[in-house]
Amino acid sequence: MAKEKKLVEAITPMEQDFAQWFTDVVLKAELIDYSSVKGLTVLRPYGFAIWENIQAWLDAEFKRTGHENVSMPLLIPESLLQKEKDHVEGFAPEVAWVTYGGSEKLQERLCVRPTSETLFCEHYSHIVHSYRDLPKLYNQWCSVMRWEKTTRPFLRGREFHWQEGHTLHETEQEAREETIQMLNIYARLAEEVLAMPVIKGPKTESERFAGAEDTYAIECMMHDGKGLQAGTSHFFGDGFARAFDIQYTGRDNQLHVPYQTSWGVSTRLIGGLIMTHGDDSGLVLPPRIAPVQVIVIPIASHKPGVNEKAAELVDTLKAAGVRAKGDFTDNSAGWKFSEYEMKGVPLRIEIGPRDIENGVCVAVRRDNREKETISLDALAGRIGALLDEVQQGLYEKALANRLAHTYTATTLEEAREKVSAHAGLVKMMWCGDAACEEKVKEVTGLGSRCIPFEQEHISDVCPVCGRPAKHMVYWGFAY
């Protein structure tokens, strides 16, 4: 009975220390391991499988919308990084520099890409000459490096996996439509697959990506009331294209400068998943993203026929397209229950000798622990429906959490007071002035999350300066 293996150790309760709870889950659900370099982590098979599922869904969407995958170099020469002024200011302070190749000092130092705008632009300047070469709809799956001072698994790493789309268009309108199209794909990924409700909208100017004319984001709320920016899509105008001399001969036979976008999501989404759905027993995964959707556990497995029947259930479920797995190790049933709860497997099926006699099994939901006896004849259909119910239930629970911790305020004092008991998002008006945004931060600690597409009228004036309000903004603490 697995004497060598330590029992699943208790994880820190969320209410006691949310940050420690997060770290415990990340390690004990076997999502990551630390390496000997701070901020560089190993994505273990279970963690990487979640990323593979995100990749598979997104990659299909990217291809459906006409995008092609490419691979850019890992390293960027310093002179290339410096071509776009805002961009280099944003990234140069936090890049890792390669200075030696073997034993030879390099003539120019090369940074490990923190993002690849400059590389895509250099390549586009080689291959785009005519309007016939447009649009270019490219995407890259890779890891990037940012030499952060403080790091946390999935949320802020010195290296993280992501995809970065980079597109080039004839017209501003087409580029703007692309920017919104990709934001909407991210929103669908978050809501339909990850069961994470999102707020969509542009960021304020001070929160824009280095070099972008407009940055749009999907914003989520975590279990503790803090916000998480889960994906961004940028409209660049023609700034990068001008900086990199990208020009094309248009339909009018004149030279033009194309319009550009970029957009990305990263393994940060996995951090978001954990903090949206997890509980004190560990990870809780929505079925559509779970590497294992159903774990089948034989009860009294030494009794004849039990393991065989359990294996049969696994096969039945697999044949119905369910990602099912059986655990036939000699660990105790109780141990197995804890292990798969820790790993957030959406449904557990228990089957023992008496169940077999009665032609049933018992399904237990990870999210709310509800038990249900299911006739083996109706297994696949009922399990499919149950998985849908879990998916829907997780979304609704996350949405309810967000709504319960979304406040409105018309003064900074009111805003500060409302988030003092429990962090959350504050809906408050804004005049559009960066100085007022700064003041909100100073007085309440809240940063602007986004200017939601779905505007509401909270009051007529900016709570800071009293001038007429231009937008309703979501303000919050954030990861």
Residues that bind its own copies (CB under 8 A): 2, 4-5, 33, 35-37, 40-45, 48-49, 51-52, 68-75, 77, 80, 93-103, 109-110, 112, 119, 122-123, 126-127, 129-130, 132, 138, 143, 145, 147, 158-159, 161, 249, 329
Task: Compare residues 246 and 356 and give the one whose CB is closer to its own copies.
Answer: 246
- Nearest distance, CB of residue 9 and its own copies, angstroms: 15
Choose between 92 and 180: whose C-beta lies nearer to its own copies: 92
Other CB atoms closer than 10 Å to residue 28's CB: what's the count? 17
Closest contact distance (angstroms) between CB of 35 and its own copies is: 5
Residue among 140 and 204 whose Cβ is closer to its own copies: 140
Residue 143 vs 184, nearer CB to its own copies: 143
Give whichever of 64 and 132 is closer to its own copies, judged by the CB atom: 132
Quick one: 339 or 367, whose CB is closer to its own copies? 339
Nearest distance, CB of residue 179 and its own copies, angstroms: 21
- Residue 159 · residue 277 · CB < 8 Å: no
| β-strand partners of 255 | 249
Q: Give me the least distance between CB of 253 and its own copies, in Å please.
A: 9
- List all residues 6 or more positions away from 224 whose beta carbon is below 8 Å from its beta carbon: 14, 18, 275, 423
Which has the closest alpha carbon to 468: 439, 430, 438? 430
Burial 241-274 (b: 16+ CB within 10 A, else e): bebbebbbeeeeeeebbbbbbbbbbbbbbbbbbb
Q: Specify the length of the chain in residues.
A: 479
Q: At closest approach, how far in Å is the CB of 147 from its own copies?
A: 4
**Minimum Å distance from CB 168 to its own copies?**
13
Element spanning 179, H or E: helix 172-188
**Cβ nearer to its own copies, comparing 44 with 416:** 44
Q: Is 154 helix (H, G, I), strand (E, B) or coil?
A: coil
The residue type of 2 is A
Q: What is the closest distance, in whole angstroms, from the C-beta atom of residue 32 to its own copies in the complex?
A: 9
Q: 442-473 as b/e, with b when 16 or more CB fall inside 10 Å?
A: eebebbbbbbbeeeeebeeebbbeeeebebbb
